[in-house]
Structure 1
Amino acid sequence: MRVPRPRKVVLLIALVVTLVLLCCGGSVTVLLLGGTGDDNPSTLNASLGCGKGGPVDPDSKLPRIRSYGGAQIRNAAVIINVGADMQMPPRAWVIAVATAMQESRLVNLGHLGDRNDHDSQGLFQQRPSSGWGTPEQVRDPVYASTKFYEKLKTIDGWQTMPLTRAAQAVQISAYPDAYAKHEPMATQIVNSLADGAANAVGDSLAMVCAASGQIAASGWTIPLRAGVGSGFRTSERPNHHGVDLSIGKYTPIGAVASGVVSMVKCDEDFNGRKSCNVDGYPGKGGCGWMVEILHPGNVMTRYCHLVQRPFVRENQQVAAGEIIGRVGSSGNSSGPHLHFEVHLNNDRSSAGAVDPVQFMRNQGASLGGEG
């Protein structure tokens, strides 16, 4: 077979693209160019749906989500639909799906004989002997989901609790912290099956995208409302592994999601000094007063240049939006601002850092003051 010359191949591709564009219009242009060119976080969040399309029909063709099979995803769809029918907001859907992931891996388990945990059965491993219902009832995904939500509704403040605490308040498990690790995947499942509902305001039935300062159903929020100044690894600052949110001194800083405080310290400057109770200056070095929080999914967030010793201590569990300190200008700083970083796999080094703007946008909690 004769191989076409490169120039002919290019001309052929150009002709095909032109014909497709003439036929199909702007939507194909977006597909070919990889986006609309609109980097406004509010617009991009809106394009995810934020639950406006409603939950997917469990009996329809469902998407494949990582290692979960069709029956498991159908069970997740049932859990979400029951929550919607009961007028439970989308944060409840994420909690319920994560709980079932821990209890049964979204498999509707019957009695497992010698391997069974007491008389626990079904998606949520509910025990008939504890009053959850008959064995047949707790193995019915609709019934089991209904009972889970009914119990969740009785828990004061469940909407703002860390997911693992809310789940534990319902389940009373021997492993109270085990639910947290499922939160990121439960969020993805809810987004896939309910038109981006995990990006909606978590405690509202309105299904609107979370605005600045609100907690999304994913469990994420912004640390404070301020415009993004210096960006992530720009050409001017290629070693800037976070973003700077410029705002007045003493502005409260909130944790962006539930988690455990993994570090609180006064960071040394380039001369080895720990002088964080005074304003810093460019070239001094160090983060000044700083906090690191480890979130579900091994995501670590870092907060730098606080004005005084942070309000939290190491190993303390915090909730999304909980105030951890106040904005300052300690360390390597030219003025009051929050330097904010996101690291994956709990990798504290620069290798683990990702763009906070893109990451937070994907959690339904856009930085930059929009909303």
Structure 2
Amino acid sequence: MTNRVISVIVATVMGVTICCVGGLVGLSGTATACVPQTTATPTASTDTAGRYDTEQRGHVATIVQVGANKKVPGRGMVIAVATAIQESVLRNLGDLGAANDHDSLGLFQQRPSQGWGTPQQVMDPRYAAGEFYDKLLTIDGWQQMPLTQAAQAVQRSAYPNAYAKWEPDATALVADTAAVLGVEIPGGFGMCTSASGWVKPVDAPLNSGFRTDSRPGHDGVDLGAGRGTPIRAAASGIVIKVRCNAYNADGSPRSCDIDGNLSTPGCGWYAEILHPDKTVTRYCHMLQRPAVSVGEEVVAGQIIGLVGNSGHSSGPHLHLETHTGQPATEANAVDPVAFFAARGVDLRSVRTL
């Protein structure tokens, strides 16, 4: 796939009973109602839609309508729109002669020579969107993938990491367009965003609390999600740590790519995000290396990893910590239940999708 990008200035936008030990080994407001799932707009500039012209927003409407007709989940619509922004900036590009990248055409820069259809077909936005969705839906586990990975699996771009930066705009555009069209997004966006821009990282029961009498050293809470469940960034911010933190009983380093146990100290694969209010969230015991990198900007609801059982853990779950500053330490750890409640998210509730 091509990377012909017209420059546009945009703003950044199973529950099982388990236990773990909070903290690492060897490493140093008013609550608001949750926005309904079908209209959730993760943290994005409020004028996102206004920064795209009538032609561009018309193409978003086509992508959303085709997705709704095919009953594609909201996540798929966001992936499709983000891909179209990256590939064509939502312009239905024809043959640009010498400036063309091979025979790439249309909103998604699909190539007739690669089996996407005839030139006339791929220049039809409805056809092109339908072909994109049809390919996306054949990819096993696409809903659990980071956006850039799912888009790349469809597009096979020479710039596979370029799609993710458009996720905030794409999410806002899909939500805004669906509201204008009166289209119900199948499955919503897979999350519920508070008015202050925070989400519950996994929709799972709260199995263990913060520094309880039986576990006074537990510096977070445990959410009993099943293995492989996507973990979402609780709010926008910058990734400040991605590490493996696991040790054998004798103190020697242990791989985080294998299951831990109660004799294995450490947080396993984990990531930390620094948020604009200078707070930090920590996500422990991931299945594999997190899907984000240090220095990467993330938005609320972005998939940052998968629930696993690495480190000091007796079963798959997310150990979630909240800290009032950085570096995140035992001294500045606070109860995530109260922390999230102040931001409009109830960690104790579980939605039924």
Please tell me the TM-score bracket, short chain as reference. Answer: 0.5 to 0.7
**Equivalence map 1:197-208=2 (5 Å):** 205=186, 207=188
**Equivalence map 1:322-341=2 (5 Å):** 322-323=307-308, 325=310, 338-341=319-322
Which whole-Å CA distance do the structure 1 matches of 2:82 and 2:246 have between them? 36
Asked whether 1:45 is paired with 2:45, we answer no
**Equivalence map 1:355-366=2 (5 Å):** 357=340
Aligned mate of 1:293, from 271, 282, 301: 271
Which whole-Å CA distance do the structure 1 matches of 2:200 and 2:225 have between them? 22
Contact 1:79–1:142 (8 Å) recurs in 2: yes
Contact 2:292–2:305 (8 Å) recurs in 1: no
Q: How big is the shift at 1:116? A: 1.4
Change (3 A) 1:162 1:187: same
Contact 1:50–1:196 (8 Å) recurs in 2: no
RCO comparison, higher one (Cα < 8 Å, 6+):
2
Q: How big is the shift at 1:370? A: 3.7
Task: Specify the alignment match of 1:167 in structure 2.
Answer: 151
> 1:91-131, CA deviations, whole angstroms, 9 ceiling, x for partnerless residues?
21111111111111212212222221111111100112222
- In the alignment, residue 101 of structure 1 is paired with which amino acid? I
Task: Specify the alignment match of 2:349 in structure 1.
Answer: 369
Aligned mate of 1:113, from 68, 82, 97: 97
Q: How big is the shift at 1:223? A: 7.4
**Equivalence map 1:1-371=2 (5 Å):** 39=31, 43-46=33-36, 49-50=38-39, 65=49, 67-195=51-179, 205=186, 207=188, 210=191, 221-222=201-202, 224-226=204-206, 245-247=220-222, 256-257=231-232, 262-265=242-245, 289=267, 291-293=269-271, 301-303=281-283, 312-313=288-289, 320-323=305-308, 325=310, 338-341=319-322, 357=340, 367-371=347-351
Identity within the alignment, %: 36
Contact 2:55–2:91 (8 Å) recurs in 1: yes
> 1:120-161, CA deviations, whole angstroms, 9 ceiling, x for partnerless residues?
111100112222223232222111111111222222222322
Contact 2:208–2:222 (8 Å) recurs in 1: no
Which whole-Å CA distance do the structure 2 matches of 1:208 and 1:174 have between them? 28
SS in 1 for 2:321: strand
Which whole-Å CA distance do the structure 1 matches of 2:342 and 2:108 have between them? 31
- In the alignment, residue 271 of structure 2 is paired with which amino acid? I
Contact 1:75–1:141 (8 Å) recurs in 2: yes
Change (3 A) 1:249 1:222: closer
Task: Specify the alignment match of 2:6 in structure 1.
Answer: none
Which whole-Å CA distance do the structure 1 matches of 2:343 and 2:98 have between them? 45
Alignment TM-score, normalising by the size of structure 1: 0.53
> 1:174-207, CA deviations, whole angstroms, 9 ceiling, x for partnerless residues?
222322222232222222222499xx9xxx9355
Change (3 A) 1:290 1:129: closer
- In the alignment, residue 45 of structure 1 is paired with which amino acid? V
Change (3 A) 1:313 1:210: closer
Change (3 A) 1:251 1:119: closer
Q: How big is the shift at 1:341? A: 4.0
Change (3 A) 1:251 1:207: closer
- In the alignment, residue 245 of structure 2 is paired with which amino acid? K
> 1:251-283, CA deviations, whole angstroms, 9 ceiling, x for partnerless residues?
98966238998223379xxxxx999x9x9xxxx
Q: Which has the higher helix share?
A: 1
- In the alignment, residue 289 of structure 1 is paired with which amino acid? C
Alignment TM-score, normalising by the size of structure 2: 0.56
Q: Once superposed, what is the RMSD of the aligned Cα atoms?
A: 5.4
Q: How big is the shift at 1:294? A: 7.3
SS in 2 for 1:119: coil
Q: How big is the shift at 1:321? A: 4.0
Which whole-Å CA distance do the structure 2 matches of 1:342 and 1:78 have between them? 43
SS in 1 for 2:139: coil
Change (3 A) 1:357 1:107: farther
Which whole-Å CA distance do the structure 1 matches of 2:203 and 2:82 have between them? 24
- In the alignment, residue 293 of structure 1 is paired with which amino acid? A
SS in 2 for 1:117: coil
Q: How big is the shift at 1:247? A: 4.6
Which whole-Å CA distance do the structure 2 matches of 1:80 and 1:115 have between them? 29
Change (3 A) 1:249 1:67: closer
